Amino acid sequence: RLQMLNHYLRAQSLDALGQSKEALAEADKAIQSLGSAYPEAHVQRVALLALRARLQTALGQPDAAAATIAQAMALHVAPSLLSAKDAGTLDLTGH
């Protein structure tokens, strides 16, 4: 879990610095780490997928972002369990 958290925090930091490509690589590592350690951690996985979708959008990858959003939506996490930013990314704010 610590490895996943490190990758997640690094991805957020790189995103804040405008380094979307590097942030996306870190987000992907965080998702992989979470999947192998905690396959049942749906809320965290959706948050990471929302971050990935934002980064893909920033990198001009709308098809990839749409696929990532579909992955997140398939986990059926209640919007109330997500941050406003993540729910907005997944267009769950009105549901």
What is the pLDDT averaged over residues 46-64?
A: 96
**Among 41, 48, 63, 42, CA closest to 6:** 48
Rounded distance between C-alpha atoms, residue 24 and residue 28, angstroms:
6
What is the pLDDT averaged over residues 28-48?
A: 85
In this prediction, residue 95 carries a pLDDT of 46
Residue 88: other Cβ atoms inside 10 A: 15
Q: Name the residue type at position 68.
A: T
Q: How confident is the model at residue 94 (pLDDT cuts 50, 70, 90)?
A: low
Q: How confident is the model at residue 36 (pLDDT cuts 50, 70, 90)?
A: low
What is the pLDDT averaged over residues 46-52?
A: 95
* Runs of H (alpha helix) within the chain: 2-16, 20-37, 42-58, 62-73, 84-89
- Residue pair 41/75 in contact (Cβ under 8 Å)? The answer is no
Q: How confident is the model at residue 22 (pLDDT cuts 50, 70, 90)?
A: very high
